[in-house]
Structures are given as C-alpha cells and as structure tokens.
Amino acid sequence: MRAKLVTVLSTVVFGVLCGTTAVAQSLDQAESQPENWLTYGGTYNSWRYSPLDQIDRSNVKRMKVAWAFQLGAVDMGFQATPLVADGVVYVIGPKNRVFALDGATGERRWHYFHEIPEGHSVYGNQNRGVALGHGNVYLGTADNYVVALDATTGEVAWKVNVEDSAYFGCNITGAPIVIKDMVIVGSTGGDSAHRGHIVAFDARTGKLRWRFNTIPGPGEPGNETWEGDSWKYGGGAAWMTGSYDPELDLLYWGIGNPAADLYGEARKGENLYTDCIVAIDPDTGEVVWYFQEIPHDLWDYDSAYEAILIDAVLDGRERKLLIHPNKGGYMYVLDRTNGEFLTAWAFSDSINWTTGLDEKGVPQNRREPVLNTETLICPNAAGARSWNQASYHPNTGLLYNVGIEWCSMVIARKQDPKMGQSFLGGEFGRVLPPPGEVISSRLVAHDPITGERKWVRSSKYPLLASILSTGGNLVFYGDPEGKFYALDAETGDELFRFNTGAGHRGSPISYAVDGKQYVATPSGWGSLVSDYFPAIWPEAAGFTAGATLFVFTVDEE
C-alpha cells in the first residue's frame, strides 16, 4: 500500500476560542493565532503540533527556564496538558487544582480548588486537562462533576453532577472538549462494574444536551452483543478526550475495555461499543459509524486513546484519515468519513495476544487468559503505549509515537459484579519482559500510514509522557527520571536536555506571548502505571514526584 501525505486539516482549532474577551472565532480568524494552545490535543485534529518556529534546531541549545510554577499537591503525578489563550496559561494539577498564570512571567492570576469528598475518588486525584470556550474554563472532577469557571476571575459559573461517583465507581480524569455551544466529556471507571458514557452540556448554562451510553441498553442497537444483563456492568469508559472534524461535523471518541476485564464468560458477544472508535453527531449524541478494534476484549486493551485526523493520498485516492492507537500495540488507519478499515501496523515488537489482523482488521488466533491459570500476555494491561499522546508533524509527515515492550502473567477469575466496585475478573500478576528480551521503550518517528520507522530513540524506562512537535523542526518529550529533551524532528538527534528534577507524566506544549515563543512541560512523577516500576527497577523507588510547570524560552543573542 502506497501513501503520500497531502494537504491536511487546519493546524488551528475551529470553533469557540477563549480569552478574556471570550470572542467566537471563525476558522480563518483562528488560523492567525498560532500563539495559542486551545484544546487538549492542541487542535481539534489532535496533532500535538505547534507551527511556532522561533525556537528551532539552530538555537534550541540556548533554551533556558523562563519561569516555573509549583501547583502544591503531589498525588498520582502531574498528568495535564496546559492550555493557553491570549497570553494566559490555564492548567490543572493533582487534586483538581486549577490555576490561571501569566504566560510570560508565571504570575498567578487566580486559582480554584475543587474539594473531593472522602471515598469519591476511585482512581486517584489525577486530572489530564481543562477546556476553554465561551469565556469559561471547564474541568471534570474526581467526584464526577463538570465545573465551568469564569476565565477572567476563576469564579464558578455553573457546576453539574454527572452521576454519583461513590455508587457507580466512576469519575472524570480526561479533559473536556468544547464544540459549538457544548462542553463534552467522557467517563472514567471502565474497570468497575459500571456503564460508561459520553455527555454533552450547554456550555453557557450546564444544562444536559445529550448522553451517549457506551454500552447499549435493551432496545438499542448493539445490546444483542451482550449476554443477559451484563450490559449493566459492562465498563466501556470513554476516559480520554475526543477529536473533531468541523467539515464533516463529526466527533471521534475512543472507548475503553469491557468489564470484567479478564473474564468474559458472563458477557459473551462482541460487547459493543467497547474497544471502538465511534463517530458521533455532536448535536445529538447519535452514533454515525463505529469501528471495533478488539471484539470481546479479554486483556484490558482500551481503545480510549487519541484520534489523529489527517488527509492523505492512499493508493492514488485522496482520503480523509483517522489514525488511532490502542493498548494492544496496533495503530489503526481508518477512513474517517465512514469508519472503513484501511490498514494497521504494529508499534510493538512483542505482541502475542494475536498473530495479526485480517483484511478487515479483526484479530486472528487470539491468546486469551485462562481460568485460574497463569498465561503470559504481551503487551501487559498498561499497554504497548500509555495514554500519553503521539504527535504528528505536517512538514516532516511523520508521526512521533512511543512503544513499550513488556508483558504480564495474567489469571482469569470468575467474579460476580457489584455496582461501582472493582470488576477485573482476575489478576494482572507479575510484570515480565518479552521472552528472551528485556523490558524496554522507545520514541519512534513513523510513517503514519505504513508504520515504517524513520528513526528510533531508545529508553531504559517506559516513556509515559506525551510528545510535542513544532514548526522549528523539533520534537520535545520527557522521561521518568525527569529529563526533558529536544530532538531534531528529521533525524532524532538530541539537541537539548534539561533535568526538571521529577519524572514526566504530562504533555508539553508551545505558545507565544508578545511575539516570544515558549515551551511548557509539566513535571511530576506518579500514577497507577508508574507503581509498576520499583519491582522491575529498584532505583525507580527514588524517582521524584512533584507538580511543577516548567516554561522555557530562548533569549536573543
């Protein structure tokens, strides 16, 4: 299959921008504002790319800290993506603490602390980002509220409860997305006996506009893929953030694993819409199309990750594409107009849960967990890549993505569901290297269609932070030891390194204030996945936690 990249989606967000004036911008107006970082993925197409090029390969070695800001709470790592509008940085840290900071100086303009009642945080107090629009900053909370804050003052504009987090065992860790006059967010909690959802609220009032249940109930299309009443407890959390194509007017969202994770006898069937990428009408919440990557998932291989939207010529035909990774180690390439499977490629070298995908993208010769018996599964449930996002660079035409080679001994166990309680259906067991290998990780520059590796940069420890690429032909990323790097986007050569003092779990961005470019990165180690490390690498017990936003720039010579 031959592919040639061509004109791509706009590099700026279409829709509602947020600064202190909260002006609604058209696509043409937004294109003139690359100084902002307005959505979780940087743009609706989730490229994690900034066109700013003031910091480039010739001067990045002179990059230095402009300012740093400590967010105070250290819990589950600093996993967020900061947003920037009109020179103001909006960032959320552990324990749902939101700050508005001057983008040039780091001076605090306001803060908002959302207090979490005891027992309401089932997955810890991590939070991955906020959304901007209509003069507000929007966040989801660990006790399952969506909160709108006035972007100028930090005062609460409205607050609504999605559902009882203590009872249902769910919360919100992903960043919301603002589309038109709605703020849309998905649920976390797919490893609990719970039914996942994506909900949309009126961005100005908080009134519920629609709710899409990721597990269809009786009478809904797809309910027949669930045995008995297993749909009531079926998981399917939509725990990351969607992407949006304004031309097609489609919202794309990845859905997580079914529950129980490892034991599927009580949920026979394909288990829609788990492990799917779904295209949703953003006005109604109705599914326009879906593609299920892993029917009847038995490995906790969420498909909740980012949908990267690019346009390309494929076999002589221009296509609107969606590039989508999941934990199982494959990158799927779909036609985003209709969900047609086009191709897929492995970004892991040690996959053993399947021997490969057929021409329709269906996994073949599955290696499944065995009841009450250990089975080596590669990759493990943490995935061949964590949730931290890849970056697509429109000039190099490359996709910068992390791969991790590790496995686990898993055991399936019969388990009866109890609403809101952990519903794993087994044990994930010991983390092990692939047979005959060592646990390893790497950052790779891939052809996004074929997966061809242009360059590879290896890492001893699994890389668990997102990637940023920029118009200066640079790639930025951080590692678990606290080192923050800048690489040549074309060759992978290291051009800059700085030790922030704490491991990286969040997402770097770039923005500009008064014509000066900045690069910002969260620094703060922690999370469920990082808890694996000390048993494998004893020195990792000393990896530093924290919650500091570091902001870099290059001064004129």
**How many residues belong to the chain?**
557
Catalytic residue among 181, 297, 300, 479: 300
Output the six-digit token pair for 141. 């909370």
Output the six-digit token pair for 249. 């007017």
Whether the link from the prior residue into 123 is cis, omega within 30° of 0, is no
- Please tell me the distance from the alpha carbon of residue 509 to that of residue 161, in angstroms, as a whole number: 30
- Please tell me the distance from the alpha carbon of residue 303 to that of residue 242, in angstroms, as a whole number: 12
Q: CA torsion 154→160→163→166, rounded to 10°? A: 40
Output the six-digit token pair for 256. 């997580």
Output the six-digit token pair for 177. 């997305």
Q: CA-CA distances (angstroms) from residue 364 to 111, 261, 333, 358, 382?
A: 51, 19, 18, 7, 22
Q: If you ran DSSP here, which 8-state letter would residue 175 be given?
A: P
Q: Which residues face 25 on adjacent strands?
A: 15
DSSP string, 206-270: --EEEEEESS--TTSTTGGGS-TTGGGG-B----S--EEETTTTEEEEE---BSSSS--GGG-S-
Interacting residues of 497 by C-beta distance below 8 A, sequence separation 6+: 483, 484, 485, 486
- Give the HSE-up count for residue 398: Cα atoms under 13 Å, Cβ half-sphere: 26
Clarify whether 300 is annotated catalytic. yes
DSSP string, 431-459: EEPPTTS--EEEEEEE-TTT--EEEEEEE
Q: CA torsion 234→354→251→186, rounded to 10°? A: 40
Q: Is 283 exposed, middle or buried (0-12, 13-18, 19+ CB in 10 A)?
A: middle
Q: In this structure, are residues 424 and 496 in contact, taking their beta carbons and an 8 Å threshold?
A: no
Residues 432-439: contacts with CB within 8 Å, 24+ apart?
A: 432/376, 432/406, 432/407, 432/408, 433/405, 433/406, 433/407, 434/349, 434/350, 434/352, 434/378, 434/405, 434/406, 434/407, 435/376, 437/350, 437/405, 439/404, 439/405, 439/406, 439/536
Phi, psi values for residue 290, rounded to 5°: -145, 155
Q: Which residues are catalytic?
A: 300
